Amino acid sequence: MKILVTGAAGRLGGRLVQTLSERGHEVSGADVVGEGVLRVDLTDFEATRAVVRACKPDIVLHPAAWTDVDGCARDPQRAIVVNGFGTQHVGLAAAEVGAAVLYVSSNEVFDGLRSKPYSEYDVPNPGNPYAYSKWVGERALMNINPRHYIVRTAWLFAHGGKNFIQAVLSAAEAGKPLRVVTDEVANPTYNDDLTAALATLIETERYGIYHLTNEGSCSRWAFARYFLDRAGYAGTPVEPIVVSQYGRPSVPPRYSSLQNMAGALMGIRLRSWQSAVDDFLHREGLLRV
């Protein structure tokens, strides 16, 4: 397949370019920054069109986003411009060349007011500006291009970039006090596992909404406790706190665990988050037990 990947300098986009190329697809990457990518600012409709027309892809994979949730809370208008209208531009440009689109969305589109996992057909009710902008992107794409996949995922951890695991392990190594919230629950998800699942999904041409995360969910605190123990920091205390003590501009949903119903029916399932974390730590040379 001929594939254009947006956000190719980012964690998920970069891994998608690599994996899809290895699988024999003809892949181009685009981003506002980065080496070896087509430079495009997706908030510019004509520039987006030009890149999509030049590539003439069969499908555009669209993980590009403004992912700084606190930045989005400080500048909600910009969040909508990048994540909402950027996605509209991708959807329109793809439709013009007859390409399908896969948009990567977020667990945060749900309000988190319940305590059982959200399926693909539960109704989003975003509770912060980042979540709202991601939901605007979903709506825009649904209305523009019927050949769409909307894939919601959560709590990505990736090799080679900033992520929660590396931040907490670095703080533990430096002997800094650790405080992690207990009242934010979702699904830790290994970037490499999600990438493999997306590569399989786009070959099905079964368009629709999907929830793809590693299996199982936990609180941020339980997530941190698990990987600290596995990386040899079992004796390092982690103070349990609640989101209101953390004082961030963006308030995450309290409970936004995703249920993979649609993908599982087609045989697309990801392993447990614990097994994925072990594999991640092993590949980083950090697994100690």
Ligand X SMILES: NC(=O)c1ccc[n+]([C@@H]2O[C@H](COP(=O)([O-])OP(=O)(O)OC[C@H]3O[C@@H](n4cnc5c(N)ncnc54)[C@H](OP(=O)(O)O)[C@@H]3O)[C@@H](O)[C@H]2O)c1
For residue 118, list its beta bridge partners.
258
Residues 104 and 1: their CA atoms lie apart, in Å, by 19
* DSSP symbols for 140-192: HHHHH-SSEEEEEE--EE-TTS--HHHHHHHHHHTT--EEEESS-EE--EEHH
Tokens, residue 34: 């980065």
Amino acid identity for residue 59 in this structure: I
Contact between 37 and ligand X per CB under 6 A: no
Query: What spatial distance separates the first Cα and last Cα of the chain, rounded to whole Å?
Result: 42
Choose the catalytic residue: 118, 130, 210, 233.
130
Contact between 145 and ligand X per CB under 6 A: no
Residue from 4, 51, 61, 65 binding ligand X (CB under 6 A):
65
Quick one: 81 or 261, whose CB is closer to ligand X? 81
Binding marks (x or -) toward ligand X, 94..133, rule CB under 6 A? ----------x-xx--------------------------
Minimum separation from the CB atom of position 105 to ligand X (A):
7
Quick one: 16 or 231, whose CB is closer to ligand X? 16
Contact between 31 and ligand X per CB under 6 A: yes
Active site residue 130: yes
Minimum separation from the CB atom of position 189 to ligand X (A):
7
Decide: 101 and 90 in contact? Cβ < 8 Å. Answer: yes
Minimum separation from the CB atom of position 258 to ligand X (A):
10
Contact between 284 and ligand X per CB under 6 A: no
**Near ligand X by CB under 6 A, which window of 114-122, 153-161, 204-212, 247-255?**
153-161
Residue from 1, 23, 32, 208 binding ligand X (CB under 6 A):
32
Using alpha carbons, list the distances in angstroms from residue 259 to 141, 145, 215, 243, 250: 22, 25, 8, 23, 24
Quick one: 236 or 257, whose CB is closer to ligand X? 257
Decide: 273 and 216 in contact? Cβ < 8 Å. Answer: yes
Minimum separation from the CB atom of position 234 to ligand X (A):
26
**Near ligand X by CB under 6 A, which window of 8-16, 69-77, 198-206, 229-237?**
8-16
Coil, strand or helix at 226 = helix
Residues 102 and 184: their CA atoms lie apart, in Å, by 27
Q: Is 170 exposed, middle or buried (0-12, 13-18, 19+ CB in 10 A)?
A: exposed
Residues that bind ligand X (CB under 6 A): 6-7, 9-13, 31-33, 40-43, 63-67, 82, 86, 104, 106-107, 134, 153-156
What residues are annotated to the active site? 130
